[in-house]
Structure 1
Amino acid sequence: MLVIRPITEADFPALMRCAEESGHGFTSLPVDEKLIRGKIRHSMESFGKEVTTPGTEGYLMIAEDTEAGEVVGTTGIEAAIGLDVPFYSYHISKVVHASRKLGVHNVVELLTFGNNYTGCSEVCTLFLRPEYREGSNGRLLSKCRFLMMGEHPQRFAKTVVAEMRGVSDEEGHSPFWEWLKEHFFSIEFTHADYLVGVGQKGFIADLMPKLPIYVSLLSNEAQAVIGQVHEKTRPALRLLEKEGFTNHGYAAIFDAGPTVECDLLNIESVRHAFHCSVEIGAHTSSSEYLISNTRFRNFRAVAGKVAVDRELNRARITLEMAEALQVSDGDTIRLVAQ
């Protein structure tokens, strides 16, 4: 059984392996031992804090195969982005250049650099090892964050965003970055991506063009990938879109991948989740759910079959599931249908 739980210091080797396997463009998990250890410490401190409003907390969780005793993935939430380190993005907009006298009317797109998502919560750092990308594992790893956020909304912002990885090849070359590099940055995409991952974002404000960029001036290759996602990111984007996330015209500054957003209370897995009292025992139900306990520091989430009685607000779960969730008879759990 796959169980989601908060990360601990003992998970460092597994998280490093996830960082190494995630590839180029996975900015939130760079291959840097000092940074990874810092992320783990920050997460442990964040889970231990008493919080009434979202701040700089970062919550990092891992997916553990309980049978193999092996960490196979990771997922995370930033409570409020842009408060300690700037969160930059492009806003894609349109302007009209027209002349009645000449009968000319042109609509052109602009990329405007800014910090529009400051203070929003971000779901991030989603990675699952390839051999586990089957069944409900991916949905559990992504949606467990919404079970947590719905149960503890005071810790998160009204708006939730997700910055999706943009288009790049296996060597880490981004068509969008190639144009930026030629005109403004003069460093490789992988280097810039790494600097952002380790929190060294000062060069962005120093070198990024301050005035809006006319999209028509970019290379054809760069224009073609604006708002497009990396091939490996498409399943994650589809899942978020089913949850109600949409693109409001924002893109990442390096690879131009889309940034999608949704109000926390409008996320499908928040809106349709419900509570039940636990009954432990065998059952024959075939109904599949994502389930979490209602604790925070000891948060646990799993996926599986549950016999739900909505009239009595009871849910019968197996002993294995109860042990994974660390719940007993009579405890409350949060569920959402898969």
Structure 2
Amino acid sequence: MMIIRPIKSCDYDALWHIANHTGVGFSSLQPKPDMVRRKMDWALESFAASSALDESLYLFMLEDHKTGEIAGVSGIESAIGLSDPWYNFKINTQVHASRELNVYNRLTTMTLCSDHTGYSELCTLFLMPEYRHSNFGRLLSKARMMFMANHPLHFNENVIAEMRGCCNDSGESPFWEAIGRHFFNVDFVTADQQVAQGKTFIAELMPRHPIYTNMLPQDAQAVIGETHSDTLPARKLLESEGFHYTHYIDIFDAGPLLEARVRDIRTVRDSKEYKVQIHESTTTDQTDWLLSNTDFNQFRCILGHLSFEGLEFVNITRAQADALQLDSNDTVRVVPLTGRRP
């Protein structure tokens, strides 16, 4: 059984191992020991705090309950851009027209902005390749939404998720080459590593005036708002949950930013709480359900089958109850994994 749980102090080696597999463009977790340690310490502090920090990071580990092996990580930042500025390009349309010359042109522009300051962010999602099956990716991503449903006061009413933009196998980004390199004079990989330490330097170097996209090379225009092939499954999953593209992109690789109101996310909106009844077997129904306890620093979430007992109770197995750290009559939150039942 695979279990989602908060990161623990003993997870450094596992987090470091994952960081060494994330690849170019995955700026939120790179193979730099100081970065991995800071991220881990921040998450441990956030879970241990007696009251919510102004800027919290909640990291969750996907653990094989049988072997103890860590298969992946996912996270939520409670508020972005408060202590370290958060920048995106906003895509706009400008009209240039002249009646006398009978000219009418609609042109796309990009403007540097910080419109999402204070929003929550789904971040740092990575599943090791050997575990990319059996709905483990869905569990890793959607468990965060179960946590948000349990503890809404820890988050902004709006949440975003940045999708990795397009780059080639050598780590070159056509968008970066067209814009960023002219202002930073470093390659994309180096810039991506620098932004992982903070975005303050962006304000010092990036242009504040609108950039007309039709003046960019065709290969740079083609990747604006496009998602890296490795990240497409994550984008489709989020869109199925109600996230949508709102014409904001990353300033380095032009990857799209997806946005939703927390209360409108399907997993948050449709999940319900029930009392637990424990049985040897539960049901022959093959619907996959997300099940979580409602704890904070002992949060647990799994995939499994269940059955209902009236309007108040759900039946789960002893193994499921143990994985969720639940006893009879405790509260469990449940929701169908995909939003539909066979």
TM-score (norm. length: structure 1): 0.97
Q: Look up the match of 1:59.
A: 58
Partner of 1:300 in structure 2? 300
Q: 1:235 aligns with which of 233, 236, 249?
A: 233
Corresponding position: 1:186 with 2:185: yes
- What 5-or-longer segments of structure 2 have no aligned partner? 338-342
CA gap of 1:58–1:193, structure 2 versus 1, over 3 A, is: same
Partners of 2:130 and 2:276 in 1: CA distance: 32
- How far apart are 1:40 and its partner, in Å? 1.0
Counterpart-to-counterpart distance in 1, 2:80 and 2:200: 16
Q: How far apart are the structure 2 equivalents of 1:167 and 1:258?
A: 10
Contact kept? 2:84, 2:200, Cα under 8 Å: no
Report matched runs for 1:154-303 at 5 Å: 154-199=153-198, 201-281=199-279, 282-285=281-284, 286-303=286-303
Q: Tell me the equivalent position of 1:6.
A: 6
Q: Quick one: which amino acid aligns to residue 301 of structure 1?
A: C
User: In structure 1, what is the equivalent of residue 72 of structure 2?
Assistant: 73
Contact 2:47 2:297 in 1 (8 A): yes
The 3-state SS of whatever aligns with 2:273 is: strand
Specify the SS of the correspondent of 1:59: strand
Read off the aligned partner of 1:213 and give its amino acid letter: I
How many residues align? The count is: 335
Distance across 2 between alignment mates of 1:95 and 1:109 = 6
Residue of structure 2 equivalent to 1:28: 28
**For the residues of structure 2 that align with 1:287 and 1:225, how far apart are their CA atoms?**
38
Structure 1 residue matching 2:169: 3-state secondary structure: coil
Q: What residue is the counterpart of 2:44 in the other structure?
A: 44
State whether structure 2 residue 91 is matched by structure 1 residue 99: no
Structure 1: distance between partners of 2:181 and 2:311: 64
Whether the 8 Å contact between 2:249 and 2:256 is mirrored in structure 1 is yes
Q: Is the 8 A contact 2:92 2:108 kept in 1?
A: yes
Paired residue for 1:141?
Answer: 140
Q: Deviations over 1:31-73 (max 9, x none)?
A: 1111111111111111122336x72111111100111210010
Look up the match of 1:110: 109
Secondary structure (helix, strand or coil) at the match of 2:86 reads coil
Deviates more, 1:168-177 or 1:248-257: 168-177
Which amino acid counterpart does residue 102 of structure 1 have in structure 2? L
Matched, 1:17 2:14: no
- 1:332 has 2:317 as partner: no
Task: State TM-score, norm by structure 2.
Answer: 0.96
C-alpha contact (below 8 Å) 1:165/1:257 kept by paired residues: yes
State the 1:283 CA deviation. 2.0
Q: Deviations over 1:269-302 (max 9, x none)?
A: 1110001111111223323200110000101100
Q: Deviations over 1:108-163 (max 9, x none)?
A: 00000011100000000000011111122111111111101011100000100001
Structure 1 residue identity aligned to 2:82: L
- SS class of match (1:22): coil
The Cα RMSD (Å) is 1.1
CA distance in 2, matches of 1:223, 1:142: 30
CA deviations on 1:85-128 (whole Å, 9 max, x unpaired) are: 11110100000000000000000000000111000000000000
The Cα of 1:182 is off from its aligned counterpart by: 4.2
1:203 Cα deviation from its structure 2 partner: 2.5
Q: Secondary structure at the match of 1:216?
A: helix
User: 1:181, CA displacement in angstroms?
Assistant: 3.9
Structure 1 residue matching 2:20: 3-state secondary structure: helix
Counterpart Cα distance in 2 of 1:228 and 1:319: 45
Give the Å deviation of 1:241.
0.3
Q: In structure 1, list runs of 5 or more residues that go unmatched.
A: none
Q: Is the 8 A contact 1:64 1:72 kept in 2?
A: yes
Counterpart Cα distance in 1 of 2:300 and 2:140:
11
SS at match of 2:101: coil
- Structure 2 match to 1:120: 119
Q: Distance in 2 between matches of 1:169 and 1:51?
A: 43
For 2:111 and 2:80, the matched residues in 1 are separated by: 19
Secondary structure of 2:283's counterpart equals coil
Cα deviation for residue 318 of structure 1 reads 1.4
Alignment check: 8 A CA contact 1:30 1:198 kept = no
Distance 2:169 2:313 in 1: 49
Q: C-alpha separation between the residues in 1 aligned to 2:248 and 2:212?
A: 15
Question: How far apart, CA to CA, are the structure 2 residues paired with 1:131 and 1:259?
Answer: 28
